[in-house]
Structure 1
Amino acid sequence: MNTTSTSTTLALRDPWALVPPVGNLDAYITAVNHIPLLTPEEESRFARQLKDHGDLEAAGRLVLSHLRLVVSVSRQYLGYGLPHGDLIQEGNVGLMKAVKRFDPNQGVRLVSYALHWIKAEIHEYILRNWRMVKVATTKAQRKLFFNLRSMKQGLKGQAGEGDTHRSTLTPAEIEVVARELNVKPAEVVEMETRLSGGDVALEPQTDDGEESFAPIAYLADDSQEPTHVLEARGRDELSGSGIARALDQLDARSRRIVEERWLKVNDDASGGMTLHELAADYGVSAERIRQIEAAAMKKMRKVLEAA
């Protein structure tokens, strides 16, 4: 028995057995290309079984016979740099949606009806994954996104070989694209800028010296970081009302010593009184003034720590 007859026999008994396990894309593409196509009569019969009776086996036969269509359509979108397997997978989702909604009474073949759903699902996948930020949201922007690249290549070809390496469109070419796609020239310029740009990682990708310098290093604003805000608020509290409460816990002599030693700044920038000046003022030794100061500072520290 040859390969074709074997495939046909498998399709009649268990059509799902023709699709190999996920993991080998080449084997998958080879397999789906060997799945037999349905005749118009078979397609109509299976579609009616699904529509009238919810026959999932009939749905499976409709899906399997059109998997090669998804592979063919997905190849048109390889230029966006996304994995071919993912494009096929998304296209298969679109195919299943088409099969579910297909009405055989409309008089059209499933291949014509499914084409829209396959492309729509692939388009959505590309727009979600091509850039970190979505590049097209409105219907006009989506049309511009998927047509600008091919139109750009066509315009360059018309301009001649010497102009094929030019990266941007001329004003005249922008007008042509805008007129063809029914959008504003400014939208063409904006989309061309988006397509020519790329994503930049905020975080460093390596740990090798200057190569690790990334935008996060100079775009981050630490001044509004929550822990820094709380720390600054705490420092302001301690240096203001906190110090005042701590001074209130001291006796008059200890308070004056602390204020003269640490909290006063004279106009001549000479600071407060020295230990010897305070000692002479109170008639004690400079060492005694130092002891009183140390005890006062210890008491103030306890008050501030308890705040």
Structure 2
Amino acid sequence: MPKSKHSKKDKLLGSPVKKLEPQPPAVPESLADPLEPGESWETLSPEERSPIRSYLDQIGKTPLLTLEQETALARRVLKGDEAARQQMIQANLRLVVRIAKDYDNFGLPLMDLISEGNFGLIKAVERFDPDKGGKLSTYAAWWIKQAIKRALASSGKTIRLPVHMVDRISQMRRIIAQLTKELEREPSNEEIALAMEIPIAKVVHMKSVANRAASLDQPVGEEGESTLGDLVKDESARTPFENLRGKSDVSEINELLARLDPREAEVITLRFGLSGESPLTLEEIGEKFKLTRERVRQLQQGALMQLRRIMTERQKLLTPEDVRKNKLADARAEVLSEFFRSKGAKIPTRPNREGL
């Protein structure tokens, strides 16, 4: 049976699929409205309400499928029919929204949960066999939930701060940045407390809570435009990948990236300019994939952690002595050496060379 020719790197990241030809009349089902009975849009935050409403207005234009239509389309999908695949995805996007709402307030914005769930829906549509019995909605629910759970598990946010605390920490961040600029040094707790008009003990407590309960990837601010990690993370720090040059290095990195999730690999490629293009910012990558800056940061972090694990496995085959004896190309050795050093191996730091 021929496989579908569509790419795994679908750009259905929270955006509606391009509309195809008009479809048969809709049938009334519970999925027609992703909100639960008696539920109101007022339960969503103002930041989420507008994009969610706009998104639902768009996907709501696509009629649902009857069981007969679903069966016929699914059989066409298994034969590689791209139009049928797109139509099935379109007709079930509301299912993703309904499921995603069950996982809201677990650490990711609702639109990001929907984007992740859409990936699960795509996989379900590609694998669904109507002749085995059951409906796509039942089959797809598992894939959608798995995609969302995986995103939550990799987000690094096992504990969320109360909303009021997040707002206060956001305010503290802005004041720290302002004072740092004015004083040309990091402000003391006393200076922060004076500027915020709160007790010093409150400042100490807020810093403690932020460090103890929140991931550095926790979004702060009314629009989630930054994270607590912005307070301590050095955005200018270079990674081994930013130092790579030459064809041999490209081969090495491509081998590593091939072991990552396709989307994580693309994020790393764009972030560090591994394809020869200029590196993109988190915001630029987010715009490309229709994801928030926060989610792109999480994907980048997860990918780098996975690469570190991969390189750790290679320590069984390559020793620090191999590196010292120049059995690897300079740039490749630099990458390996950094990972060796991260695991406690004492490897001399190579002097910087022109072109590296």
TM-score (norm 2): 0.33
Structure scoring higher RCO (CA < 8 A, sep ≥ 6) equals 2
Q: Between Structure 1 and Structure 2, which shows a larger proportion of helix residues?
A: 1
Choose 1 or 2 for highest CA Rg.
1
